[in-house]
Structures are given as structure tokens and as C-alpha cells.
Structure 1
């Protein structure tokens, strides 16, 4: 079962966020949270929030075991770019580009195992006594 969580319009450059996202791909959720906690980047905090949301969705909405969850993919897409202009010398203008990102994390986990019933014991088959062959 796959669970996806997305955070859109994050005020962070996608290039900076992809470095952190590559570090956690393919890891178990607990290891990924440890890495994100101790990574001193703004992207680590934002990706951590998205990851915690995905974990909560998996646990509450799909009844998945959080210990068995793995990160299948962590994708950082480019969002819309805000363009601003700053006055420069001699009446010109310099462009300021403010980039945004979309963070998407997909988790994979097995559904919790249901208790298996013990197979019913087959009723003891009554064996008919072997017919003795009469010798003539």
C-alpha cells in the first residue's frame, strides 16, 4: 500500500531541497526522521513536516504499521516563481527571482497482518473395515 503526502508552494528553491530529499530516499521512516532532525538546513525541517504528515496518514487513514514504512520516493518539484524588480543604476532594474517548491513524499508499507485462524481439524474419517476376501 502506498501513501502520498504533498506540501505545495514552499518558499524554498527546489535545487536546495533536492539535496536533502536524496538523502532519505529508500530509508525506513525512523532513520529518515533521525537524519532530517540533525540536518541543519531549512529544507530538512520542511521535508520532515511532510514526512510526519505522510506517517500520520498511513497510520490513521490506512491502518498501516509505522515500524514497517519505507520511503519509496521523495520528489521536489518546481512551483511558481515570483518575480520582483529592484532599482539599479542609471534607471535600470535588476530582477529578483523568488522560487517555490512542491514537496511530495511516497511511503510504502505492508498492511498489518490479521490474526490467522487455526485450520479446523478435519473430522476423523471412519475407515470401513477391510472386507476379507473369501477364498473359494
Structure 2
């Protein structure tokens, strides 16, 4: 069974979130949240919130055992960007792109295997 949580239009560059997302795939959600809270940067706080949301959905809505969950995938996508202008010399201006991200976390239940 798959549990999905997503957030959109988060004001952080997708490149920064994607680096952390790759490191957390395959981990237990509780372990991933613990590791991300130790980092303390903005990308880790945002990613931890989305993983916590998916983890809570699995416990409350699907009644799944938290120990039997793992992060199947984390999709980070580009959202729209805000255009800002920085004035420079000779009456010109350079464009600044304030990028946004879409983040989607998919958890899956691990099947218990009883060894013989």
C-alpha cells in the first residue's frame, strides 16, 4: 500500500531540496525525520514536514504499523518562479528568479518476511 503526501509552491530552489531527497530514499520515515532535524537548514525543515505529513497519514488514515514503513520515492519538481529585478549601471536591470518547488513523498509498507 502506498501513502502519498505532497506540498506545492514552497519558496526554495528545487536543486537544494533534491540533494537531500536523494539521501533519504529507502529510510524509515521516523529515522529520516530525525536525521533531517539535525541538519537545521531550510531544505531539511521543509522536507521533514512533508515526510511527517505522509507518516501521519499512514498511521491515522491507513492504520499502518510505523515500523513497517519506508520511503519509496521523493519527487522534487520545479514550480513557477517570481521575477524580480536588480538595477545595475547604465540604466539596465538584471532579472532575478525566485524559484519555487513541488515536493511529493511516497511511503510504502514493507512486507514482513518470516524466515525459515
TM-score normalised according to structure 2 size = 0.90
Unaligned runs of at least 5 residues, structure 1: 112-136
| Structure 1 or 2: more helix by fraction | 2
Correspondence list, 1:45-124, <5 A: 45-109=45-109
What residue number does 2:7 align with?
7
Structure 2: gaps (5+ residues): 112-116
8 Å Cα contact 1:64-1:110 kept in structure 2:
no
Which structure's residues are more often strand, by fraction? 2
* Relative contact order, higher structure (CA 8 A, sep 6+): 2
Q: What secondary structure does 2:90 align onto?
A: helix
Conserved? CA contact 1:76–1:103, under 8 Å: yes
Larger radius of gyration: 1
Answer whether contact 2:3 2:107 (CA < 8 A) is retained: yes
Once superposed, what is the RMSD of the aligned Cα atoms?
1.3
Moved over 3 A (4+): none
C-alpha distance after superposition, 1:27-61 (max 9, x if no partner): 11222112111113211000000011101111111
CA distance in 1, matches of 2:83, 2:64: 43
SS of equivalent to 2:57: helix
Q: TM-score, normalised by structure 1?
A: 0.77
Are positions 1:39 and 2:39 aligned together? yes
C-alpha separation between the residues in 1 aligned to 2:55 and 2:83? 35
Q: Is the 8 A contact 2:85 2:93 kept in 1?
A: yes
